[in-house]
């Protein structure tokens, strides 16, 4: 009987460890994806803001959160920091 009790305790300890590892993994993935989505939304908002400011004023370029933006055409914005061109919806 002692061997059966020991096995059951060992089995339940392994099950608790596995469940806790899965729970921590899920929590990490949720937090990491949330931060990634937040950064993408922030960049998109910064681009729209920069385009609006450049459109309504006589500025050639503007710096928003360490990115230098310039307007290169109607509905287009150039990020000089990363050398990328973006289409912005009005």
In this prediction, residue 1 has a pLDDT band, given cuts at 50, 70 and 90, of low
Confidence of residue 2 (pLDDT cuts 50, 70, 90): low
Q: In this predicted model, what pLDDT tens digit does every residue of 34-87 receive, in sequence order? A: 999 999 999 999 999 999 999 899 888 999 998 999 988 888 999 998 888 988
Note the pLDDT tens digit of each residue in 3-28.
777 888 899 999 999 999 999 999 99
pTM over 0.85: no
Q: What is the pLDDT of residue 6?
A: 81
DSSP the chain: -HHHHHHHHHHHHHHHHHHHHHHHHHHHHHHHHHHHHHHHHHHHHHHHHHHHHHHHS--SEEEETTEEEEEEETTEEEETTTTEEEE---
């Amino acid at each position: 009987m002692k061997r059966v009790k020991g096995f059951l305790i060992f089995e339940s300890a392994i099950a608790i460890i596995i469940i806790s590892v899965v729970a921590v993994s899920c929590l990490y993935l949720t937090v990491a994806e949330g931060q990634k989505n937040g950064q993408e939304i922030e960049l998109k908002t910064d681009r729209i803001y920069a385009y609006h400011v450049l459109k309504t004023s006589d500025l050639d370029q503007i710096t928003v959160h360490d990115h230098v933006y310039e307007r290169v055409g109607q509905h287009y914005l150039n990020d000089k920091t990363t050398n990328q061109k973006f289409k912005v919806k009005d």
